Structure 1
Amino acid sequence: MENVIILGTGCAGLTAAIYAARANLNPLLIEGKQPGGQLTTTSEVENFPGFPEGIDGFLLMDNLRKQATRFGARFENDIIESVDFSSPVKKLKGSKEYEAKTVIIATGASPRLLGIPGEQEMYGGKGVTTCATCDGAFYRDMEVIVVGGGDSATEEALFLTRFASKVTLLHRRDELRASKIMADRTIAHEKIEVKWSTVPEEVLADETGNMRAVRVKDLKTDETYEIDSKGFFIAIGHIPNTQPFAGVLKTDDDGYLVSDHPSGVLTNVEGVYLAGDCADHVYRQAITAAGMGCRASIEAERWLADNEAVFAEAALA
């Protein structure tokens, strides 16, 4: 039986592992579908503290992994499909079964994508992105496109006006779904042009494989045309990777894990903690995920210290 099992190896999971390993808890990390998390697809990270010149996303995650390994963290390549948290010994099932005294869930979230041609080919460093806060500064004085109509899309569009020379917002309807104040700010902004009843059909590449334009379709006239742009920001939401915990842990209506504790990382099950994007639909930043991973690990360490007798009894039974 493991002291700590950590699900996920993004910033949240690896930071939790560093803290748990330094506390001699010998944590086991289960990597899931995308070892290293979303940052491994980012060519450059400029807003993570300690790297004044920026750092490649894959390299940052590799450094965190090496740091966790140095202190004794172990890794297993598996995907957890179901859990049983009904007893003090937590049971997890993937290709094999695991048991743990505590579990830290840092499974992240996956951005919703459009599924159009060219999207995957230019995703992560070639023009297509899902995070204006992460990548907006790379598009100074350039024209960019945002797709979406909710608060996320309007927030992305308004944020990008700090850098881009022009922001074109594509929305499939003839009015925004965002809150009125955000919609009004977006429509009124001199740098933003809203294309109503318009959907993207294909992301087009130049001779180097980087994005050069997006082909769009006017849903009212069926006209198709190209919009030249170097950056395409997809803001149609995220899907938290929390499906194995449905009905077991408390979630909100969108499936994000919820903590009612002031720490922000305790779940409704003792000994089970949350961290990172699987519980954060507001910030979704590497540094906030790392902070949650730190908190979750410290809480797990304290809980283990307070509950040694429980597991001693379980072992005897």
Structure 2
Amino acid sequence: MVHNVIIIGSGAAGYTAAIYAARAELQPLLFEGSQPGGQLTITTDVENFPGFEHGIMGPQLMQDMRKQALRFETKMIQQTIVDIDTSKRPFVLKTDTGESYESKTVIVATGATAKLLGLESEMKLMGKGVSACATCDGFFFKGLEIVIVGGGDTAMEEATFLTKFASKVTVIHRRDSLRASKIMQQKAFENPKIEFIWDTEVIDVHGVDQDKLTGIRLKNLKTGEESDFACEGLFIAIGHKPNTEFLKGKLELDDVGYIITKKSSMATSVDGIYACGDAQD
């Protein structure tokens, strides 16, 4: 069977594409991947989505979007696309279970995953004091002392943004200088609420037994000295990785792996394949 359109990814972009395609009676097939709902399923309150005056929980928003797509008869499969033949149409897509599907059109909405520290304790406290999205969660840290990990533009931008809410923001960076652009560095250095700890990394997150963040364990990379640091919020800002590994050599990607689309368009380098959401450059 050749499908009219296959959508890869089940975040906000994927579900939105499914709703529109289904309402156009294209009978879309959507592959949800290993984490149905995408990154918003690990976000607590979402305050910046239109239509919810008092905010909405991330998992609830994704569940509602999923139900809406299903109501218009989108077919969903909880498998991950691991390969796609873009050399001819219909396109042939292969899943992690070894099955193949054909489609006239493909919409890639695989998103991007925030890079994390890789600590078990970090994952257990995600949404409970640990976050990878300052704009999503900053509001909930009013008057609190928080930490942000990173040294690039994103980290400096988020550190500056978080000073609107937090009483103090401590930037922890594993080097002795920032990678951020000069203007972003200047803004951060001149902000009286921002302090810096250099040559240091976070090696553990405290508070798992209390089900909320209470502090972090630090290690100075030059001296090897370890110490505890009390904080009520930990924001990870060490970048994102687009979920496009399976598209290398198939579509035009930038140096990081984001899908390059045509100007003012979602069309990719291959006719009939489109990209939307955080996977798009």
Residue segments in structure 2 that go unaligned for 5+ positions in a row: none
Question: In structure 2, how many angstroms separate the alpha carbons of the residues matched to 1:206 and 1:277?
Answer: 30
Higher RCO (C-alpha 8 Å, min separation 6) = 1
Corresponding residue of 1:59: 60
2:125 touches 2:208 (CA, 8 Å); kept in 1?
Answer: no
Does residue 182 of the first structure (1) align with residue 171 of the second (2)? no
Classify the secondary structure of the residue corresponding to 1:156. helix
Equivalent residue number for residue 98 of structure 1: 101
Given residue 108 of structure 1, which amino acid in structure 2 is its aligned partner? G
2:185 counterpart letter in structure 1? A
Q: CA deviation at 1:128?
A: 0.9
- Please name the residue that 1:130 is paired with: 132
Aligned to 2:122: 119
Shift of 1:41: 1.3
Counterpart of 2:251 in structure 1 is 249
CA separation in 2, counterparts of 1:47 and 1:262? Answer: 24
Equivalent position of 1:229 in the other structure: 231
Structure 1 residue 270 displacement after superposition: 0.8
Alignment partners' CA distance in 1, 2:175 and 2:228:
19
1:152-180 superposed Cα distances (whole Å, 9 cap, x missing partner): 11111111011100000000111001111
Contact 1:117 / 1:201 at 8 angstroms: preserved in 2?
no
Name the counterpart of 2:215: 213
Matched, 1:20 2:18: no
| Structure 1 stretch displaced more, 218-227 or 81-90 | 218-227
- CA–CA separation in structure 2 for the residues paired with 1:202 and 1:60: 31
Aligned-residue offset at 1:208: 2.8
Q: CA deviation at 1:248?
A: 1.0
Pairwise CA RMSD: 1.1
Change (3 A) 1:3 1:42: same
In the superposition, relative to structure 1, how do residues 194 and 74 fare at CA in structure 2: closer, same or farther (>3 Å)? same
Instruction: Give the CA deviation at 1:206.
Output: 6.4
Tell me, yes or no, if the aligned pair for 2:124 and 2:208 is still in contact at 8 Å: no
Question: What TM-score does the superposition give when structure 2 sets the normalisation length?
Answer: 0.96
Residues 37-88 of structure 1: CA deviation (Å, up to 9, x unaligned): 0111112111110001111111111110111111110101111111111112
Is this contact kept in 1: 2:214–2:231, CA < 8 A?
Answer: yes
**Which deviates more from structure 2 when the two are superposed, residues 215-224 or residues 38-47?**
215-224
**SS of residue matched to 1:167:** strand
Secondary structure in 2 matching 1:168 = strand
Alignment-derived partner of residue 109 in structure 1: 112
Structure with the larger helix share: 1
Secondary structure in 1 matching 2:66: helix
- Counterpart of 1:293 in structure 2 is none
Does residue 75 in structure 1 map to residue 76 in structure 2?
A: yes
Q: CA deviation at 1:98?
A: 0.4
Contact kept in structure 2, 1:145 and 1:168, CA below 8 Å: yes
Query: 1:140·1:163 contact (CA, 8 Å) conserved in 2?
Result: yes
Q: Is the 8 A contact 2:121 2:208 kept in 1?
A: no
Shift in Å at residue 254 of structure 1? 0.1
- Please give the secondary structure, in 2, of the residue aligned with 1:103: strand
Q: Contact 1:169/1:193 (CA < 8 Å) preserved in 2?
A: yes
**Equivalenced residues, count:** 278
| Partner amino acid, structure 1, of 2:187 | R
CA distance in 2, matches of 1:23, 1:158: 43
Amino acid at match of 2:106: V
Deviation at 1:188, TM superposition (A): 1.9
Q: State the match for 1:164 in structure 2.
A: 166
On the 8 A contact 2:173/2:198 being kept in 1, the answer is: yes
Q: Is the 8 Å Cα contact of residues 146 and 169 (structure 1) preserved in structure 2?
A: yes
Q: What is the identity percentage for the equivalent residue pairs of Structure 1 and Structure 2?
A: 52
Conserved 8 A contact 2:33-2:81: yes
**Residue type of the alignment partner of 1:104:** I
For residues 281-305 of structure 1, what are the alpha-carbon distances to aligned partners after superposition, in whole Å with 9 as ceiling and x for unaligned? xxxxxxxxxxxxxxxxxxxxxxxxx
